[in-house]
Amino acid sequence: MSTTTVEQFQRDPASLLEAVERGEQFIIARGEKAVARLLPAETDETVDNERTEWSRAALDNLERAYGPDEPDYSPEAIIEPNPHYKP
């Protein structure tokens, strides 16, 4: 991630914004303090891909936790039934 100053951004915002459109990221700083971050905008495709990856990870974790060898529990195994449960 590149760093630029507020003054540099004010002098030539178009070239920095073009670089962001190409996928570059910038921190805009005043002295040593970061005041803003320029990131490429997310497209619908980016959001959909991220959602798909999270869904896949969740399913993978469920499969690991509750695999085919998971035993079936009988009603007798319940120590304290949930009084609000309605099948």
State the CATH number of the domain containing residue 31.
Answer: 3.40.1620
Q: Is residue 25 a part of any domain in this protein?
A: yes
Range of the domain at 33: 2-38
Q: How does residue 64 score in pLDDT terms, banded at 50, 70 and 90? A: confident
Report whether pLDDT(86) > 80.
yes
Q: What is the mean pLDDT of residues 36-40?
A: 86
Q: Is residue 47 a part of any domain in this protein?
A: no
Q: Is residue 69 a part of any domain in this protein?
A: no
Q: Is residue 30 a part of any domain in this protein?
A: yes
Q: Is residue 63 a part of any domain in this protein?
A: no
How many separate domains does the chain show? 1
Q: Is residue 58 a part of any domain in this protein?
A: no
Q: Is residue 87 a part of any domain in this protein?
A: no
pLDDT in the model for residue 41: 79
Q: How does residue 45 score in pLDDT terms, banded at 50, 70 and 90? A: confident
pTM score, whole prediction? 0.42
pLDDT single digits (tens) 75-85: 888 899 889 98
Nearest Cα neighbor of 24 from 6, 44, 7, 4 is 4
Q: Is residue 71 a part of any domain in this protein?
A: no
pLDDT in the model for residue 58: 94
pLDDT in the model for residue 55: 93
- Tracing tokens 């798909």 back to the chain, one arrives at 52
Rounded CA-CA distance 73/75 in Å is 7
Report whether pLDDT(6) > 90.
no
